[in-house]
């Protein structure tokens, strides 16, 4: 059976020693009282819930899955899920980072992100139920009417109700301009929605008394394509004027998807048969409102893979220390045993360190991004808010695609450490691989994220936001450029930073002549950008570790951090050279292939 220990020490290192978040919060009136002790206490308690309540349900939830009663359309979640959610609600966890005016605790997003990393390590399928509610909350805060906010937000914040996002239809996924669900205006100002949705995570369940669906649909006079999409809030049970639940709304689960992973989460097929809803935001501008939820979800999906990378690494490391097989190539290491532990073998260490480096780099990037979100929402300086918002927009597709791709690499590597046992269910490793695989697909596939990064976020503003991130790199290079002990971290970062401008300009020029060039280069480009960001994060972490050691610290944590950073720059970062070469190879080898694909 797998185990899980919340990585509190590493979280505290990134939060307090690398990014000094408590000092950052002092500049934000909403978070001025959030100090390091408060953050640490919250994360410690959250870690206990993740490890002691959610984690023990993970394998059982995967085995049992969800059950649909086709007559009543009711879905039963795996044993223990409902009770764990009740405990989660009782502890006030859904309200952690929500606005106090709606019953929230008002803590920073940065803290909430760390809580959700631990929950995702413990049980991604379970965590998706409360996780999706945060996206619904954010969308309604940004675009809901006062009546909608009053009706839905306190219940979403308390966790009494959960939320979903209903986008995908059987004939369209990412291309939402093709959706057909209709919304007919009614005399009382409401709308009746009719259509079918698929792949709706947490779309029906028994864990909360009501589900608040955010549904994309078309008004009768809507223009074709994405410019004719509106957003509606459609509750499972109608809500009476006094806030009590009314009659069942005709929005039903008609089937559950049979999936590769996340079996404990109800991925529902949803039918709307004249379901009553209300318009969110302006008519025909539903995508703008929904993107608030989608962008939050994209950061959340990256966090899911971060969580799985961490828990897979922990278990692979423990196994590698215990499992004996063959002798070390450089001589016997365990003289009292018939063979050496497999951790002595170089390639086993490579697999373990790959997962460790991708977990620690991903954690630093996630915390960096959520700190930017807190600044974008709460910093009193408008310029700081604007710059933070722009950087988050740039980094969101990297968080979603780079961290989930790395999660795929890492969970597979950790399964490989177990050898044949990794393929066996009881060890838990194959579930981490299966559960992670969806993260590369939903909320916009990783190719879509790559096109968004290169086409919209970089070339769309002539690299202006990328240059802002480049300034952060430049500041670090200037600060540490003459420090010989930092050279092994700073020099590769500075070199790639310089190359990135030329690389981007070259791809952009070719794309201007032939748009397929952007499509051919985008995936490789995002991975190069991901390594640029990770290199910056590891250089920042190495900077702190070196300073602590210079100050006399003998804590092995700092030595371990330096060793992980060295591994990252030596064994993972160099793939950028290959990626830039393949990105520059152009579209011809892909598109001039009619005979090969006939």
Q: Is 414 left (phi over 0), alpha (psi -120 to 50) or beta?
A: alpha
Indicate the Cα dihedral angle 418, 424, 427, 430, nearest 10°.
80
Give residue-wise pLDDT tens across range 560-594: 999 999 999 999 999 999 999 999 999 999 999 99
DSSP sequence for 101-169: GGT-----HHHHHHHHHHHHHHHHHHHHHHHHHHHHHHHHHHH--HHHHHHHHHHHHHTSEEEEEE--B
**Which of these, 131, 162, 146, 91, lies nearest to 307 by C-alpha position?**
131
Q: Is 26 exposed, middle or buried (0-12, 13-18, 19+ CB in 10 A)?
A: middle
Which pLDDT score is estimated for 289?
A: 82
Instruction: Report d(CA 14, CA 311) in Å as an integer.
Output: 18
Phi, then psi, of 410 in degrees rounded to 5: -70, -45
Which pLDDT score is estimated for 542?
A: 98
Instruction: Please enumerate in sequence order all residues whose Cβ is within 8 A of that of 160, keeping only pairs 6 or more positions apart, or say none.
Output: 89, 208, 209, 210
**Which of these, 119, 435, 477, lies nearest to 307 by C-alpha position?**
119
Instruction: Report d(CA 567, CA 559) in Å as an integer.
Output: 12
Number of Cβ atoms within 10 Å of the Cβ of 176: 17
Which position has the token pair 């009282």? 33
Which position has the token pair 């201007």? 512
**Helix 556-567 to helix 516-550 angle, to the nearest 10 degrees?**
150
Instruction: Report d(CA 410, CA 407) in Å as an integer.
Output: 5
With beta carbons less than 8 A apart as the criterion, state whether 140 and 161 touch: no
Tokens standing for 381? 């300086």
Domain 161-283 in this protein, CATH class? mainly beta
Q: Is 8-64+81-143 a CATH 3.30.479.10 domain? A: no
Q: Which helix H or strand E contains 58, and what residues bound it?
A: helix 58-64
DSSP helix/strand/coil, 71: coil
Which pLDDT score is estimated for 172?
A: 87
Report the DSSP pairing between strands 67-69 and 74-76: antiparallel
Which pLDDT score is estimated for 295?
A: 83
Residues of the chain where predicted confidence (pLDDT) is lower than 70: none
Instruction: Report d(CA 96, CA 84) in Å as an integer.
Output: 17
Provide the whole-model pTM: 0.98
Which pLDDT score is estimated for 260?
A: 98
With beta carbons less than 8 A apart as the criterion, state whether 402 and 530 touch: yes
Name residue 275's beta-bridge partners. 193
443 catalytic residue (yes or no): yes
Instruction: Please enumerate in sequence order all residues whose Cβ is within 8 A of that of 574, keeping only pairs 6 or more positions apart, or say none.
Output: none
Report the DSSP pairing between strands 245-248 and 237-239: antiparallel
**Helix 516-550 to helix 382-417 angle, to the nearest 10 degrees?**
90
| 197-to-60, 129, 257, 590 alpha-carbon distances in Å | 28, 18, 12, 33
Give residue-wise pLDDT tens across range 108-141: 999 999 999 999 999 999 999 999 999 899 999 9
With beta carbons less than 8 A apart as the criterion, state whether 157 and 95 touch: yes
**Which of these, 447, 444, 458, 445, lies nearest to 529 by C-alpha position?**
458
Of 138, 310, 443, 517, which residue is the catalytic one? 443
With beta carbons less than 8 A apart as the criterion, state whether 165 and 158 touch: no
């Amino acid at each position: 059976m797998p185990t899980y220990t919340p990585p509190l020490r590493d979280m505290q290192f990134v939060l307090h020693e690398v990014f000094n978040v408590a000092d950052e919060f002092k500049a934000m009136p909403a978070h001025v009282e959030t100090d390091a002790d408060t953050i640490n206490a919250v994360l410690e308690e959250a870690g206990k819930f993740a490890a002691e309540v959610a984690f023990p349900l993970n394998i059982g939830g995967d085995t049992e899955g969800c059950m649909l009663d086709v007559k009543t359309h009711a879905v039963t979640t795996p044993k223990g899920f409902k009770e764990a959610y009740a405990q989660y609600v009782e502890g006030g966890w859904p309200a952690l980072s929500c606005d106090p005016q709606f019953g929230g605790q008002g803590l920073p997003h940065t803290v909430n992100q760390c809580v959700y990393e631990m929950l995702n390590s413990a049980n991604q399928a379970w965590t998706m139920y409360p996780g999706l509610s945060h996206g619904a909350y954010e969308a309604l805060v940004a675009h809901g009417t006062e009546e909608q906010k009053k009706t839905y937000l306190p219940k979403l914040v308390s966790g009494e109700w959960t939320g979903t996002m209903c986008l995908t239809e059987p004939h369209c996924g990412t291309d939402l301009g093709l959706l057909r669900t209709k919304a007919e205006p009614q005399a009382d100002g409401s709308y009746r929605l009719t259509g079918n949705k698929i792949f709706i995570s947490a779309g029906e369940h028994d864990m909360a008394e009501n589900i608040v669906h955010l549904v994309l649909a078309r008004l009768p006079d809507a223009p074709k394509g994405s410019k004719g999409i509106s957003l509606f809030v459609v509750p499972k049970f109608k809500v009476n004027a006094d806030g009590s639940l009314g009659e069942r709304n005709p929005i039903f689960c008609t089937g559950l998807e049979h999936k590769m992973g996340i079996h404990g989460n109800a991925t529902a097929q949803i039918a709307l048969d004249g379901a009553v809803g209300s318009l969110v935001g302006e008519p025909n501008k539903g995508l703008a409102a929904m993107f608030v939820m989608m962008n939050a979800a994209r950061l959340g999906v990256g966090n899911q893979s971060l969580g799985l990378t961490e828990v897979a690494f922990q278990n692979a490391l423990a196994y590698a220390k215990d499992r004996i097989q063959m002798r070390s190539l450089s001589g016997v290491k365990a003289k009292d045993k018939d063979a050496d532990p497999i951790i002595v073998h170089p390639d086993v260490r490579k697999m373990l360190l790959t997962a460790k480096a991708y977990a620690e780099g991903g954690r630093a990037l996630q915390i960096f991004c959520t700190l930017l979100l807190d600044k974008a929402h709460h910093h009193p300086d408008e310029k700081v808010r604007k710059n933070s918002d722009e950087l988050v927009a740039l980094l969101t597709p990297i968080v979603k695609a780079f961290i989930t791709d790395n999660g795929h690499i890492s969970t597979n590597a950790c399964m490989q450490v177990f050898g044949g046992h990794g393929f066996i269910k009881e060890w838990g490793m194959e579930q981490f691989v299966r559960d992670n695989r969806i993260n590369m697909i939903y909320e916009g596939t990783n190719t879509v994220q790559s096109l968004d990064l290169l086409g919209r976020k970089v070339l769309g503003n002539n690299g202006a936001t990328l240059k802002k991130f480049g300034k952060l790199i430049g500041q670090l290079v200037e600060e540490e450029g003459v420090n010989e002990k930092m050279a092994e971290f700073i020099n590769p970062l500075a070199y790639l930073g310089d190359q990135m401008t030329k690389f981007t300009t070259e791809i952009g020029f070719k794309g201007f002549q032939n748009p397929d060039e952007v499509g051919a280069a985008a995936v490789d480009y995002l991975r190069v950008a991901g390594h640029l960001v990770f290199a910056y994060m590891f250089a920042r972490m190495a900077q702190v570790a070196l300073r602590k050691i210079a100050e006399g610290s003998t804590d092995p944590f700092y030595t371990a951090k330096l060793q992980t950073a060295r591994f990252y720059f030596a064994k993972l970062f160099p793939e950028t050279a290959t990626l830039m070469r393949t990105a520059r190879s152009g579209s011809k080898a892909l598109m001039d292939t009619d005979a090969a694909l006939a």
